[in-house]
Amino acid sequence: MAISKIAGKVQTVLGVIEGEDLGATLIHEHLFIDGKCLFTEPEGASERALAYEPVDWHNLSWLRYHPYQNLDNMRLLDEQEAIDEAMIFKKSGGRTIVDVTITGIGRDPKGIARVSRATGLNVVMGSGYYTAPSLSPEFAAKPEEEITDEIVQDITVGVGGTGIRAGLIGEIGCSWPLHDYERKTLKAAAVAQQKTGACLSVHPGRNRKAPFDVVDILEQAGADLSRVIICHIDARIRDHEGRTQMLQKGCVLEYDLWGWEGHFPTYWTSDDYMDLPNDTQRIYEIRRHIEEGYLNQIVMSHDICAKTRRTRYGGWGYAHILNYVVPMMRQRGITQEQIDAIIMANPRRLLTFI
């Protein structure tokens, strides 16, 4: 069914490789990102001063609760910093990073190719469009078919004139409630998935109902749900039954906010509130899904998209899962074989074109 010539292989920014070369994989990260579209200016005048300061020691505490109210915090633009932070993952045994930064938040094919060469890590690039607020008004006139063609082009020919090709679709950005732009992109992405055999990663809006909406649209558009990743599940569906419903549909659930514990800021959700688990709760939730037979539908990552989540600003960084979460998983009865399925075999299956 795929039109690409890469069935059975994985496509990185430096070319096609075998799935067995992927090793420990972070399936949802950002080496570069310009998240200014998600920036919210604080109400109060004194806090507005903090909003435009560079991230530094004196504002780190404030940033814990206001991560998206500081413009500098939401921009990962420094290439050497990306290399240094990615190297920590490599030194901890990591081999592959999937950069799901796409149009709207500053996708940078040449930049991530340079990070790949400098670090020796495999880097896989995404394709598609982020949430409506990140897009220009011209997007309204773009037909769905054109979006499909662009994604297919990214995968088969490369982005613009760079010759650098995407290896998956997404993270497709959705808001809550879903915007017309986002409905159009989802449908286009589902068709592009059928044409290319790529896996499709979706960021649902911040509401429990959002992932269910997304899956309905994708299903109707003919997507292969067994190759659909629902991102940020640890901050969307907080009940076991809801997640099980998603798993029964065949989707892959992505726990991708490891290290981010406690709570979301109150200004950040369209629900009355949204709980955020800590890492041990995440482990217990995953263990229960494994016990119920869904090992092959779980993946993990950090989704590092702000300075404060990197080590040089006091965050956990890209090696948190390998260094600290994996030992906690073993301690809580998840076997090494099961851990390998989650951090290696599942990403490998998803990133291998069919």
The separation between CA 169 and the C-alpha centre of its own chain, rounded to angstroms, equals 11
Site string for Zn ion, 218-257 (x = CB under 5 A): ----------------------------------------
Of 35 and 109, CB closest to Zn ion: 35
Single out the segment in contact with Zn ion by CB under 5 A; choices: 67-75, 88-96, 111-119, 296-304: 296-304
- To Zn ion, the closest distance from the beta carbon of 100 in angstroms equals 5
Of 72 and 303, CB closest to Zn ion: 303
The CA distance from 191 to 200, in Å, is: 11
Find the binding residues for Zn ion in span 304-323 (CB under 5 A).
none
CB atoms within 10 A of CB 286: 24
Of 189 and 334, CB closest to Zn ion: 189
Of 260 and 313, CB closest to Zn ion: 260
Single out the segment in contact with Zn ion by CB under 5 A; choices: 61-69, 147-155, 297-305, 314-322: 297-305
Residue of the chain from 223, 234, 303, 320 that contacts Zn ion (CB under 5 A): 303
Of 99 and 338, CB closest to Zn ion: 99
Give the list of residues 6+ apart from residue 332 with CB closer than 8 angstroms, or none. 280, 283, 284, 287
With tokens 């998803």, the residue in question is: 350
Single out the segment in contact with Zn ion by CB under 5 A; choices: 55-63, 158-166, 189-197, 300-308: 300-308
Going by DSSP bridges, is the β-strand pair 200-203/169-173 parallel, antiparallel, or unpaired? parallel
Of 150 and 256, CB closest to Zn ion: 256
- To Zn ion, the closest distance from the beta carbon of 201 in angstroms equals 9
Question: Treating both helix axes as pointing N-terminal to C-terminal, what angle do 180-196 and 144-156 enclose, rounded to 10 degrees?
Answer: 40
- To Zn ion, the closest distance from the beta carbon of 263 in angstroms equals 19
Of 108 and 334, CB closest to Zn ion: 108
Of 154 and 254, CB closest to Zn ion: 254
- To Zn ion, the closest distance from the beta carbon of 235 in angstroms equals 11
Single out the segment in contact with Zn ion by CB under 5 A; choices: 15-23, 84-92, 303-311, 330-338: 303-311
- To Zn ion, the closest distance from the beta carbon of 305 in angstroms equals 5
Binding residues for Zn ion, total number by CB under 5 A: 1
Single out the segment in contact with Zn ion by CB under 5 A; choices: 67-75, 279-287, 298-306, 308-316: 298-306
Residue 330 Cα distances to 280, 296, 299, 337, 339, angstroms: 12, 18, 16, 10, 8
Q: Cβ distance 127 to 168 under 8 Å?
A: yes
Reported for 67-70, long-range contacts at CB under 8 A and 24+ positions apart, including other chains, are 67/265, 67/306, 67/308, 68/35, 68/38, 68/39, 68/40, 68/265, 68/268, 68/306, 69/39, 69/40, 69/41, 69/42, 69/267, 70/39
- Nearest 5°: the CA angle 12, 279, 299 is 30
- To Zn ion, the closest distance from the beta carbon of 262 in angstroms equals 19
- To Zn ion, the closest distance from the beta carbon of 351 in angstroms equals 16
- To Zn ion, the closest distance from the beta carbon of 256 in angstroms equals 7
End-to-end CA distance of the chain: 8
The CA distance from 108 to 279, in Å, is: 31
The separation between CA 44 and the C-alpha centre of its own chain, rounded to angstroms, equals 32
Give the list of residues 6+ apart from residue 334 with CB closer than 8 angstroms, or none. 283, 286, 287, 290
Contacts with Zn ion by CB under 5 A lie at 303
